[in-house]
Amino acid sequence: MQDPAIRAAILSDDPKAASSFPLFHRLSWEIMYRFGNPPNYLPQPEDSLAAIAAREGRTPQEVAYDVLLENEGSDFIYTTLSNYAYHDLSMSETLLGNPNCIMGLGDGGAHVAFILDSATRPGC
């Protein structure tokens, strides 16, 4: 990914153009963040890839690409798809405090393909 020709080819591609994956249409650079080490589970609006791109005069795609190269390629992007409307965990606290809310595990399979931060060592 550090080869300039590969970078240019990847950044010129439009991943949404040929995709029928419905999640792509919910993704936004405003809700994507550098996860970091230590992990930042409470990113703020100014931490978003869109905000970084605007500050630095780059595209969000360029920022995302560079984030993925950080720490020898071991960093990744944290995307808050739900329960993070106020840039804190208050929505989750509200939901879990409701007596009609039951915590459970719905789908542990497909979502592991997006994020699994429990194992940080190779081979785990």
Please enumerate in sequence order all residues whose Cβ is within 8 A of that of 1, keeping only pairs 6 or more positions apart, or say none. Answer: 7, 10, 65, 68, 69, 73
Task: Give per-residue pLDDT as tens, 72-108.
Answer: 888 889 988 778 888 888 988 898 899 988 776 665 5
Instruction: Spell out the domain ranges in the chain.
Output: 4-113
Three-point CA angle 86, 78, 23, nearest 5°:
85
- Rounded CA separation 100/24 (Å): 31
Helix (H) or strand (E) holding 34: strand 32-34
**Tens digit of each residue's pLDDT (9 = 90 or more) over 23-53:** 776 778 999 999 988 888 899 999 999 999 9
